[in-house]
Amino acid sequence: MPELPEVETTRRGVAPLLAGRTLERIEVRQRQLRWPVPKAVERLLPGHRLQTVERRGKYLLLRFEPADLIIHLGMSGSLRVLKDPPPASKHDHVDFAFDRATLRLRDPRRFGAVLLGAPRAEAHPLLAHLGVEPLGPDFDGDYLFERAAGRRVAVKSFLMDAKVVVGVGNIYASEALFAAGIRPTRAAGQVARVRYRRLADAVKATLRRAIEVGGTTLRDFSDSAGRPGYFAQSLAVYGRAGELCRACGSRLRDARVGQRATVWCPRCQR
DNA sequence: AAATTCTCCTGAAGGC
DNA sequence: TGCCTTCAGGAGAATT
C-alpha cells in the first residue's frame, strides 16, 4: 500500500514528466472515491499549466494557477503517466489528459481521494491541521517527547497520528519501533526522551531507505507493469508474526493495537 | 480533550 | 472447483 515513500516515489516520477505541461481535459469515470470528486476540479483546472508537484504527508499536491489538485492514494491507489493511454479498465477512475501524456488514477478499493485546494491545498480542512513532516527539520526526539507528555495511548498509535507526524503508516511505525527497541503497546507518555530520539532517528532512516528502494519503481514508471514489492524483503517485524526475530531468535508476538495488526519482538522491544 | 470504534471498498486468503 | 467468510488497511467521522 502506498506509504510516504511510495507517494514520494510517485511524486518524483510524475513531476519531471508533467511539470510545465498544460492540462487539457479531465475524465472522471468514477466520482465516488473516499469523497466525491468535486466538479470544481473539472471546472477550474483544464487549460492551465501544471506548475509543480509537491507532497504533504501522503497527499500529492499538483499546483495550478487557479487552485491545487490534491490526490491521496488511500490503500490501493496508484498513478501512472501514459504517453498513449490504453482503454481504461475497471478501476481506472480518473484521467488527467495533459498535452503530451495522461496521468491516470487507478484505485481498486477507492479509499483514495481527488480534491481541490482553492486557492491552495494548505488551506483545505484535511491538510490544515496536519503534524510535522517526518523528514523535515521539525521532527526529532524532543518534539515527540514533548507531544507525548501525559498521553496514555499506545506509542505506536501515537506515532501513526497524523496530527503528530504525517506519513508514518503501519509498516514504518512497526519497523521503526523495532529499530528503536520500543514495545508498540507502551503508553506514549511512558517513553523516555532518549528513546524518542532513537525512535525519531529510526523513523527517518527507515523512510529514507524505503524511498531509495522505491526509486527502482521510478524507472518503469510510465509503463503499465505492476509495481514490485519493494522493501518487503528487509522488513524485520511487519508481517512476520510467529516467525523468529532476526536479532535474537525470539518468536515475534502480535496483537491488534489501535485496530491495526502489530508485530514486535518481546525480547528486543521494551 | 483524549481515546476508541466505526466506516468506506475490493481483492486475497483461508475454510470447508 | 467453488462458494462463503474473514481480513487488510488510511484516516476522517462518530461515539464514548
Q: Tell me the three cell numbers of residue A195.
A: 528513546
> What is the average pLDDT across A10-16?
95
- Which pLDDT belongs to residue A134? 95
Q: What is the mean pLDDT of residues A183-205?
A: 96
Q: Identify the H or E element spanning A70.
A: strand A68-72
By DSSP bridging, strand A102-106 and strand A92-98 are antiparallel
Q: How confident is the model at residue A233 (pLDDT cuts 50, 70, 90)?
A: low
Q: SS3 of A199, please?
A: helix
**Which residue is catalytic, options A3, A6, A8, A175?**
A3
Q: How far apart are CA A267 and CA A270, in angstroms?
A: 7
pLDDT for A217 equals 41
**C-alpha dist (Å) from residue A107 to A75, A197, A263:** 8, 37, 27
Bridge partners, residue A56, by sequence: A59
Which backbone phi and psi does A154 adopt, to 5 degrees?
-60, 140
Lowest mean pLDDT of A167-171, A199-203, A226-230, A249-253, name the range. Answer: A226-230
Q: Per-residue pLDDT averaged across A134-138, rounded?
A: 95
Tens-place pLDDT, residues A143-176: 999 999 999 999 999 999 999 999 999 999 999 9
Residue A56's φ and ψ, nearest 5 degrees, are: -130, 110
Residue A85 half-sphere exposure, CB side, CA atoms within 13 Å?
A: 21
Closest residue by C-alpha to C1' distance, nucleotide C11: A162
Which strand B nucleotides have any atom less than 7 A from protein CB atoms?
Answer: 2-11
- Over range A116-126, report the average pLDDT: 93
Query: Which residues, 6 or more positions from A78, have their beta carbon under 8 angstroms from its beta carbon?
Result: A2, A10, A105, A106, A107, A227
| Active-site annotation holds for A58 | yes
